[in-house]
Each structure stands twice: as C-alpha cells, then as structure tokens.
Amino acid sequence: MPWGDVFDNAIGLLVYPGAVAALLLGAIAEIGATWALVPERGGLRPAARSVLAVLPGSAARGFPTFSLLAALLALVACLQMAAPFNPVPAGDRNLLIAAFALIAAAWLTWTWGWSRGELDPRLVLTVQACWLVALLVPAVVPQNFHPQALGNSAFPSAVPTRAACLFLYLMCLPALLNLIPEAAPQGVPGGPGRRLPGIEAAGFGLLRIVLWLPYCGLFASLFFAPSSDDVLGIIRFLVIVLGCAMVSVAISLNLIYRGARFTRRFYFNVVAPFAIITVALGMVLALLGPK
C-alpha cells in the first residue's frame, strides 16, 4: 500500500470519520438518549454531565481489553461510510468490511457482559441476523458492496426491497446500540448500570458512544444518495445520522415502556419474520431485475 494511502487511512481512523468524529457525534446522541430514556435525571444538563463523565482520562486509562478491541473495530467500520470528505477513496470502501467489523465489535461487547442481568443471547443473535439482512440485501441487484454506489442505485423495481431493508435496519438499532435492557450488558444510557461505577462501567459507556456513528452512518450511506463534499453535504449527512439516532431512541423508549415480554415478542414474532420476507423480496428482485 502506498504511503499516501496509509496516511489517508490513519487520518480517517483517528480523526474523521473515525475517533474524533465518532466521539463528538456519539456524545451528542448519547446525551439525547440519556435524557429521553431516563427522564428522572431532570433534563439535558444532568444527562450531559453523566455522559461526559466517561470521557476524561480515568475512562481512557481503564478501557477494558474487550472494549478497546470493539472500539477499534467500530472505527474501522466508520472508514467504510459514504461520508463527505472521507479521506478513504470510494473504491476502497466495502460494506462487507463494515459488517464484519461491527459484528465482531458487538460480540466482543456482549461477551464482556454475557452473564449479566437481563441480557438475552437469543434475542441478540436474532437481531444481528436481521440487521445483516437489512445491510446486505440492498447489494443484491447492483452486485456491488461499495456504500457509495449502493446509495446511488436507482432501480425502480428495487424500491420496495430497499424500503423493507430501511425499516428492518431501524428496528434492529435499539438492540445493536445497547439501548434496551435485553441487549445492554451495562444497562441503558443514563441508567444505574449493572456494575458499580468505575473503570469497567466507564469503558463500556465510552464504547457505546463510539458505536453511534458507524451504525447510523452506514444507514445514511445505504439508503440515501451520497452527500456532496461541501458544507451543505456535511450538514445533510449529519441530519440523516442524527435523525436515525432519534428514531432509534424513540423505538427503544417504546420497547422499554412496554416491557421485556413485549420486546421479545416484537423481535421474534414481527422483526424476524419480516427479515425472512425481505430476503424473499431480494431473491425475487435478483431473478427478475436487470441483468
């Protein structure tokens, strides 16, 4: 690999759209989630204090090994997004890399908290399988795994399948972002947590902040045309990403309010069958679509 490409990937991983961008945008999303999911904290200011408490040095020094590896994989997924001014060339971005990186990050996170409280391994596995369907089925007709190309794909016959994948992707985010108790090893944002405050809890909090951008950024890359490399393009991309985050929090709030029994029924009896229907739509589209 030429040194110029190595430099571009390093800048992307450490600054934008990697670590710095993920921390800034993730902190905003986490504050909003804390405020919405735990309203008894009393408003945005207390929510912000609780989230920002994990960012100073003690959290960074105490980042557990599993969390460190998971965060690194999440940042690798960030490089694959069709984000404006992404220093990684569009031809070098690959949806499969993002998928494997986020799957590995998720399992490292869940393994870290596998035996804790309400974590439901069966639900977690089901949601991850459904998310893979939403992520990969849009690539069936274009036969292209570059997010930049998928966001630009314009096959009229693919609209129903893309709409189904968009819905499925959003339904999976509450579990993937650890916003519901059944999929959150350390508890929901702003909650009391399942371990006493300390290095481990701070490490998990910092990891969840990093996960917002890759999951919501891939959503923006897959289901919307790429944003231009200018100020308006950045604003448009951020609006889509934050809008995705807001929808995820709203779905999570509804699931938490209705309880664990409803959440399990929703994912096993609604989301999983819908994923199967989406796969069938993708197969029909592959057979009947343009050659």
Answer whether residue 122 shows pLDDT above 70. yes
Local confidence band at 198 (pLDDT 50, 70, 90 cut-offs): low
Q: CA–CA separation, 47 vs 53, rounded Å? A: 10
**Average confidence (pLDDT) over 33-40:** 80
Alpha helices (runs of H) in the chain, residue ranges in sequence order: 3-14, 19-37, 44-52, 57-61, 65-78, 95-112, 121-136, 147-152, 159-176, 199-223, 231-258, 260-266, 272-288
| Most confident of the ranges 90-104, 195-209, 232-246 | 232-246
The answer to whether 11 and 68 are in contact (CB under 8 A) is no
pLDDT (tens digit, 9 = 90+) per residue, 66-115? 777 888 999 999 999 999 999 988 888 888 899 999 999 888 877 766 65
Local confidence band at 278 (pLDDT 50, 70, 90 cut-offs): very high
- With vertex at residue 148, the alpha carbon angle to CA 234 and CA 174, rounded to the nearest 5 degrees, is 70
Answer whether residue 201 shows pLDDT above 80. no
Answer whether residue 245 shows pLDDT above 90. yes
Answer whether residue 197 shows pLDDT above 80. no
In this structure, of 7-11, 72-76, 189-193, the range with the lowest mean pLDDT score is 189-193
Local confidence band at 54 (pLDDT 50, 70, 90 cut-offs): low
The DSSP secondary-structure symbol of 116 reads S
What's the whole-number average pLDDT of the chain?
83
Return the residue matching tokens 């096959």. Answer: 155
Answer whether residue 59 shows pLDDT above 60. no
Percentage, residues of the chain above pLDDT 90: 41
Answer whether residue 150 shows pLDDT above 90. no
Q: Which is more confidently placed, 51 or 82?
A: 82
Residue 6: predicted pLDDT:
73
The answer to whether 62 and 197 are in contact (CB under 8 A) is no
b/e for 104-142, b at 16 or more Cβ within 10 A? bbbbbbbebbeeeeebbeebbebbbebbebbbbbbbbbb
Q: How many Cβ atoms are within 10 Å of 286's Cβ, its own excluded?
A: 13
In this structure, of 111-120, 182-191, 224-233, 261-270, the range with the lowest mean pLDDT score is 111-120
Q: CA–CA separation, 185 vs 17, rounded Å? A: 26
Residue 60: predicted pLDDT:
46
**Average confidence (pLDDT) over 40-52:** 71
